[in-house]
A = this chain, B = another copy of it.
Amino acid sequence: MTDTATKTQDDITKLMRDMGNRARKAAQILALASTAQKNAALAAMAASIRENTAQILTSNQKDLEAAKERGTSGAFLDRLMLDEDRLEAVAASLEDIAALADPVGDVIASWERPNGLRIARVRTPLGVIGIIYESRPNVTSDAGALCLKSGNAVILRGGSESFFSSRAIHACLMEGLQNAGLPRDAIQIVPTTDREAVAAMLRGLDGNIDVIVPRGGKGLIARVQQEARVPVFSHLEGICHVYVDKAADLDMAKAITLNAKLRRTGICGAAETLLVDKACAKTHLAPLIEALIGAGCEVRGDAAAQAVNDKVIPATKDDWSTEYLDAIIAVKLVDGVKDAARHIAGYGSSHTETIITDDNATAAAFFAEVDSAIVMHNASTQFADGGEFGMGAEIGIATGKMHARGPVGAEQLTSFKYVVRGSGQTRP
């Protein structure tokens, strides 16, 4: 290693440590900030985004040109691209988050003891959140705003692809914080794309990051899950299942399967596998496959699926554990709800699964047997979303079982403390 490289490494370590210390100090101030002050900051941020639209779009242009020079593809460019409509949506989203209830200070539970002690469990901020994301520049404002709403400081590390766009949006967030008299260090963005900055965050910045939320592709999530020494809220992938039970209404099964698979194929709540109860194979399998193929979906199936439609491509074992994120679905017969649950446990990703049935007892069995963050009955897996759950904005969906599970909104970014009120009690 050359001296220059060593120096750079040291510089980044120092820079990141300093960001961590400043975030912790800002978090202590934010924890005491009033709802009105946080909402004023969010409103000022939205105003600043609208005022600085031209400047943000110029920065976005720089990112887009660099991406084109690297020969980047269409879907990627679309995620990166901002325009006036998208920036207005960013501003509106800040206002939506301002309109959410403030979770901090919420009394989750309270009770009185026989000795007169009154005990309450009260929501508090978590502290400092680290967000590591890739190309979408709007994560800058969504994540920054949700962390602010929940009283947390945040350290944002955007991808090199959206470097200029994210910094331009971040400047507007700074302006909003300052206008509301809140510390600018409450929302910091890492000013370098060096990967050592990510490594430092994953080590937790000397205890100054309490949780990390990665947003992006499977490669990023896997790296964060493997290397992080602090808790992580994430899902590696969404291999979501639709299980059509023998007591399913066929029309409902068709409508939900098509919606779950095809409404948007690129989101984590999109279905990837259709399981059909063999007890209704004769009546349900062929029409379901026909509907999917008719809607332009490629079907990869087991022997039974292949037997009912010659357009079905033979599925390999890999198909059962593949997140296509495309108009492709794997189809398999199973032997009732227990076998469906077994398949899901073996190949799923603990994200979202739905059962279609008119039999409530079978639905209850599905709910009990399937250990996923979200289990549904007679509804499309594409509802797996914080907004659709009524939680307002979400920072992501977690498939782990610790602390947050399912959509991660402002409430899931909080901890709690016990508040005990006495009148002089001593313990006998």
Chain A interfacial positions (CB closer than 8 Å to B): 28, 31-32, 111, 113, 117, 119, 122, 124, 126-127, 210-211, 231, 249, 252, 255-256, 258-260, 263, 345, 363, 367-369, 371-380, 382-383, 388-390, 401-403, 405-406, 415-427
Known contacts A259-B427, A403-B403, A420-B383, A32 near B369 by CB under 8 Å: yes
Chain B neighbourhood of A31, CB < 8 A: 368, 371
Known contacts A371-B31, A380-B427, A390 near B119 by CB under 8 Å: yes
Q: In the complex, which of the residues A256, A258, A426 has the most CB atoms of chain B within 10 Å of its own CB atom? A: A426
* Beta-carbon contact of A255 and B424 below 8 Å: yes
Give, as a whole number of angstroms, the nearest-CB distance from A100 to chain B: 15
Known contacts A405-B415, A417-B371, A419-B367, A379 near B425 by CB under 8 Å: yes
* Beta-carbon contact of A426 and B388 below 8 Å: no
* Beta-carbon contact of B124 and A402 below 8 Å: no
* Beta-carbon contact of A417 and B119 below 8 Å: no
* Beta-carbon contact of A420 and B371 below 8 Å: no
In the bound assembly, the distance between CA atoms of A406 and B282 in angstroms comes to: 56
In the bound assembly, the distance between CA atoms of A389 and B260 in angstroms comes to: 45
* Beta-carbon contact of B406 and A418 below 8 Å: yes
- Total identical chains: 2
Look across to chain B and name the residue whose beta carbon is closest to the beta carbon of A255.
B426
Give, as a whole number of angstroms, the nearest-CB distance from A223 to chain B: 15
Chain B neighbourhood of A418, CB < 8 A: 373-375, 389, 405-406
Give, as a whole number of angstroms, the nearest-CB distance from A291 to chain B: 13
Known contacts A425-B380, A427-B380, A390 near B420 by CB under 8 Å: no
* Beta-carbon contact of A421 and B378 below 8 Å: yes
In the bound assembly, the distance between CA atoms of A118 and B259 in angstroms comes to: 19
Chain B neighbourhood of A371, CB < 8 A: 28, 31, 124, 417
Known contacts A113-B390, A402-B231, A418-B406, A424 near B124 by CB under 8 Å: no
* Beta-carbon contact of B403 and A402 below 8 Å: yes
7 contacts between A and B (CB under 8 A): A117-B379, A119-B389, A367-B419, A372-B417, A374-B417, A380-B427, A405-B415
Chain B neighbourhood of A255, CB < 8 A: 424, 426
Q: In the complex, which of the residues A31, A260, A263, A375 has the most CB atoms of chain B within 10 Å of its own CB atom? A: A375
In the bound assembly, the distance between CA atoms of A174 and B337 in angstroms comes to: 31
* Beta-carbon contact of B383 and A425 below 8 Å: yes
Chain B neighbourhood of A379, CB < 8 A: 117, 420-422, 424-426
Q: In the complex, which of the residues A210, A372, A415 has the most CB atoms of chain B within 10 Å of its own CB atom? A: A415
Known contacts A390-B111, A424-B252, A417 near B373 by CB under 8 Å: yes
Chain B neighbourhood of A422, CB < 8 A: 376-379, 383
Known contacts A368-B32, A401-B415, A427-B388, A420 near B119 by CB under 8 Å: no
- Contacts A231-B231, A380-B426 known; list 18 others, CB within 8 Å: A32-B369, A111-B390, A127-B401, A210-B401, A211-B402, A258-B426, A259-B426, A367-B419, A372-B417, A373-B418, A375-B418, A377-B421, A378-B421, A379-B420, A379-B426, A389-B418, A401-B415, A406-B418
In the bound assembly, the distance between CA atoms of A425 and B382 in angstroms comes to: 10
Chain B neighbourhood of A117, CB < 8 A: 379, 383, 388
Chain B neighbourhood of A402, CB < 8 A: 126, 210-211, 231, 402-403, 415
Chain B neighbourhood of A426, CB < 8 A: 255-256, 258-260, 263, 379-380, 382
